[in-house]
Every structure is written in C-alpha cells, then in structure tokens.
Amino acid sequence: MLTARPRGTTDILPPRSEQWRTLEERFREVCRIWGYPEIILPLFEHAELFQRTVGEATDIVEKELYSFPDRGGRLLALRPEGTAPAARAYLENGLHKGPQPVKLSYVGPMFRYERPQAGRYRQHTQLGIEVFGAAEPAADAEVILVAVEVLRREGLEGLSVRLNSIGCAGCRPAYRETLRHWLHPLLPGLCADCRSRYGRNPLRTLDCKIERCRQALGQAPRTLDALCDECREHFQEVQGRLEGLGLPVTIHPDLVRGLDYYTRTVFEVMHDDLEPSLCGGGRYDGLVEVLGGPPTPAVGFGMGLERVLDLAKTQGRSTRPDLFLAAADEEARPRVFALAVEARRAGLATHFDFGGRSLKAQMKAASRLGVRFSVVLGQRELETGVAVLKNMDSGAESEAPIAGLAGAIGEQRGPTS
RNA sequence: GUGGAUGUAGCUCAGUGGUUAGAGCACCAGGUUGUGGCCCUGGGGGUCGGGGGUUCAAAUCCCCUCAUUCACCCCA
C-alpha cells in the first residue's frame, strides 16, 4: 500500500500542528525560565548505548528497539528514549569537566516497536529535561516541579504525582535478594509474567496489575523499608521540598520503572482521564559511570507530547488571516496578485484566488478562510485608485485608497495578538 | 507478544446474498447584470482495506492478510 503510513505513526495536520508547536514553545519557555537550555541530539545512536544503560533485559531494549546495521557494519538503533543519548553527549563533549550542575532540555521523536493503542505510538515525541552533576534532593524536586509546571501551563487539572524510591547501588541488591526469598514460596500462585520477572527483575512483580498477584504481593517487603540511611534521608527531603511548595505527592511503594538505570527517586505524573502516565522520570546516579565517565549523580524526566496534546484544551495560536483580495474581472488579476504580495510584505496574512473562480466563489472562499477583511478589485477600482474595504464580520464597508490598503487594515485590525 | 471489536465517498455512517452501492456533512458549479454566511438546483467523487474461496450471483457467507481501535504487557 503506497498510501498507508507505517504502523504506529501519525500525520499531524492543522490545526493540531498549531497546538503541537504551541505546546513546544511553552515547554521551551518554561525551560528558559527554569534554566534548562536545549540540547539537540541525533535520532540514532549506537545500539550498545541503550543496551548498556536502559538494560539488556528490559522490554525497551529486548523487544522494542529499532536496531539495524548501517552500510559500514555499525549496529545502530533509533533512540527509544532521551536520557542515555543526553548522558552520552554530556560525556563526549566534556561537559562533565565544566561547571556543575549541567541542566539540559530536549524535544524530539523517540522510537519503540510497540503495539499501538491509545496514547501509545511507535514514533512518539518526548519533552525532557536532565540535570547532571547534582546529588541534592533539591534537584529531584526541581525536576518534578518543572514537569508539573509544563502541564499546568497547558491548563491541565486533575494531575497527580506518584513518587517512590528504589534505593541505590548500596542498598538495592540486598533488597532484591530479600524480595526474591520472600517471593519464592508464592511463585506457584503468581501469573506467568511474574514468574518470569522473578528471575529477571523481581522488583517488577510489585506493580503487576493482576488482582491475584496484587493480593499475594500486598504484604511484600517494600523498597522504602529497605532503603539505606542516605537513601531514606534523600527521599524524605525530596518529599519535603515538594510538600513545602504545596504540591500534593502520593507515595507509591509499588512504583518501579522499566529502565535499569534508575536509582533512588522514581516518579510519574498522571492525569485523571488517561491511563498511561503523562510523564515519567527519576534519578540515575550510575548512568554516566556506566558510559565510562566519572561517578555523576543525575536526575531527569521524559514527557509524552502526544499524550499531553490529547488532554490539553489549549488552542493553537490564532491563524485567522487578515485579508482576501478578490478580482472582479480577469484584467484585475495581475494587480490582485501584485497587491497580495505587497500586503504580505507589509505583514498582513493575505489570500487571493489563483484564477478562474467567479467573484461570488471568491467571496465564499474568503468567508470560509475566516479572513477579517476583503477587498474587491476590478476595472472601476483600477481606474479610480480607490477600493472598498469590507469587514467580513460586520459587513461594514469603507473606502480606502488602494495604495494605502495595508495601513488602513492595520488600523482597523488593531494590534496583532 | 496475548485477547476483543472494527474496516463502504474527504468525514460520520446506512446497506448482511439479487439490477448501474446510498444518505448527511464537505467539495465544485449555477440561482443573469461586481460581493461571503442562510436557502434552492445541479455536479464530481467509491479498488465496498487487500488476496483467495463458496455461489448462477458477494459490500453482505468462509479463510488468510494488512490496518485501525480497546484492554493486557510495557512505557511517554
């Protein structure tokens, strides 16, 4: 099929494309104010980057990675997420040797070979930020606040933040073993997925959605109870900072995430009307080191632009055009063309008919386009040099010299919003 | 990867074995002499997702396939 887009991709048509750009602009504005300049990263990377950081045994790498050998024999992958590439760029460009922390934002498409459904695509767009070189809880809190700020600017209500800590390289291995021992006798009663998770990633059994498993795991040891002193303090401080600002946060002891690089803080921002999260993130203190850099604490989030757009009621910038120039006869068409060019150069969003349509049809087109003003040009106007400017909303007409049309419209239109 | 639902005009859908497949909206043109929105008239537009099968006859029944969609998994 020549006229079918690949599965899981979408075409963004106007006016949705306008909303899309508006959302991007607002995100960039928030990033500017909060101090997260943009980094522009490649859409593909060495596949190994994701295998080593996101994790070999995660779904994202194991079954969702778009990977391919290029003509030079390099094994590449379309990026499935933004954090690993950002960390790679941070190291590769020596940002770790400059002043810390380094705060960055990014916007762009991510690719995952998943089965599409509501709010889930094979190509989706993430708005994300990262802080490198900051171990303090204030950094975690700021990152979460930025996420909420972006969503609030979109006019979203019914937001909630889920927060948890999954411990660090020091305390997590012990917890993992504790959990595994605890799980062992229950295995026969758990679902097939959980039985396989037991071996690969026992933490994931905690957020199984199957009721039987939920009940069986209700009394499971919690990551929060197994945190080392440092992790517990860190977590309490993050929580305290957020609550100190009046941001309601729900502790979800069963929130674990499907990317291996997370440590300590993990969080998701949810909306009442959408099942999947709008935004997910957390701390990843070991990631830069895995890539061969110095131990570097870091924290960040990724936000699903399409998901936000599905919920946002905000409109795109008004695209209402200013002027339609209509030709009353064939002789006037070249003049209409020239005047349209002139009006556009003067900053007026201007439309005209390329040719062939009757005056009536042109007026109809003008009306449909939603222009504010129309002007008809024919032999009469060309001779007198005076045309009638019509307000398409009120129907009111006024005379204006053709030479000064742009100015006359500028006055009547008022300041551009 | 698992399970369910659905694919007919640009859009929303009707048509479930029988002539040239329909409606509303949208689109184009006209309703005389230079003016939009309402109304009226006319017109263009469909490989009935694709392929195979059953039948005298298939949009309609069967199989396969592709796609969409919902849930699960996972995630943004």
Distance B5 C1' – A199 CA (angstroms) = 36
pLDDT at A313: 67
Tokens of A92: 């590769």
What's the Å distance between residue A7 CA and nucleotide B62 C1'? 28
Extract the tokens encoding A87.
Answer: 């960390």
Which among A271, A279, A277, A365 has a CA at the least distance from the CA of A327?
A: A365
- The burial of A297, by beta-carbon neighbours within 10 Å (0-12 exposed, 13-18 middle, 19 or more buried), is given as buried
The distance (Å) linking the CA of A122 with the C1' of B68 is 14
| Distance in angstroms (rounded) separating the CA atoms of residues A156 and A140 | 22
pLDDT of residue A377: 96
Q: Residue A316's pLDDT is what?
A: 62
Among A205, A257, A123, A24, smallest CA distance to A268 is for A257
Q: Which fold has domain A323-413?
A: Rossmann fold (3.40.50)
One digit per residue, the tens of pLDDT, for chain A of length 417 reads 567 788 899 888 888 888 899 999 999 999 999 999 999 999 999 999 999 999 888 889 988 999 999 999 999 999 999 999 999 999 999 999 999 999 999 999 999 999 988 889 999 999 999 999 999 999 999 999 999 999 999 888 889 999 999 999 899 888 988 888 888 888 787 777 777 778 777 887 877 777 777 777 778 888 899 999 999 999 999 999 999 999 989 999 888 888 889 999 999 999 888 888 999 999 999 999 999 999 999 999 999 999 998 887 666 666 789 999 999 999 999 999 999 999 999 999 999 999 889 999 999 999 999 999 999 999 999 999 999 999 999 999 999 999 888 888 878 776 554
Give how far the C-alpha of residue A191 lies from the chain's centroid of Cα atoms, to the nearest Å.
Answer: 34
| Side chain identity at residue A402, one-letter code | I
In the structure, how far is the CA atom of residue A177 from the C1' atom of nucleotide B20, in angstroms?
A: 75
Give kind and range of the element (H or E) at residue A250: strand A249-251
Report which residue is nearest nucleotide B67 when distances run from CA to C1'. Answer: A7
Query: Which nucleotide lies at the shortest CA–C1' distance from A393?
Result: B37
**Are the folds of A16-171+227-311 and A323-413 the same?**
no
Domain-wise residue ranges, chain A:
16-171+227-311, 323-413
The count of other CB atoms within 10 Å of the CB of residue A97 is 9
> What is the distance, to the nearest Å, from the Cα of residue A330 to the centroid of all Cα atoms in its chain?
49
Kindly tell me the sign of the dihedral angle through the C-alpha atoms of A17, A21, A27, A31: positive
Contact (CB, 8 A) for A262 and A286:
no
Q: A194: which nucleotide lies closest, measuring CA to C1'?
A: B73
Nucleotide with C1' nearest the A127 CA: B76
Query: Whole-number Å distance, CA A112 to C1' B16?
Result: 40
CATH code for the part of the protein at A16-171+227-311 = 3.30.930.10
Nucleotide B7 C1' to residue A4 CA (A) = 14
The CA distance from A124 to A114, in Å, is 11
DSSP string of A272-290? TTEEEEEEEEEE-TTHHHH
Q: Cis omega before residue A37 (within 30°)?
A: no
DSSP states along A197-211: HHHH-GGGGGG---H
Please state, in angstroms and rounded to a whole number, the distance separating the CA atoms of residues A265 and A161. Answer: 12
Helices (H), ranges, A312-404: 333-345, 359-369, 379-384
Q: What ipTM goes with this model?
A: 0.86
β-pair type (A159-165, A263-271): antiparallel
Q: Which two tokens stand for residue A162?
A: 């889920």
pLDDT of the residue at A189: 78
Q: Which residues of A144-165 are buried (b: 16+ CB within 10 A; e: fewer)?
A: bbbbbbbbeebebeebebbbbb
Residue type, A140: D
- Strand B bases, protein C-beta under 7 A: 1-2, 27-31, 34-37, 47, 49, 66-76
* pLDDT for the residue numbered A415: 57
For residue A398, how far is the Cα from the chain centroid?
47
Decide the pairing of beta strands A263-271 and A274-283: antiparallel
Please name the residues in contact with A52: beta carbons below 8 A apart, sequence gap of 6 or more.
A290, A291
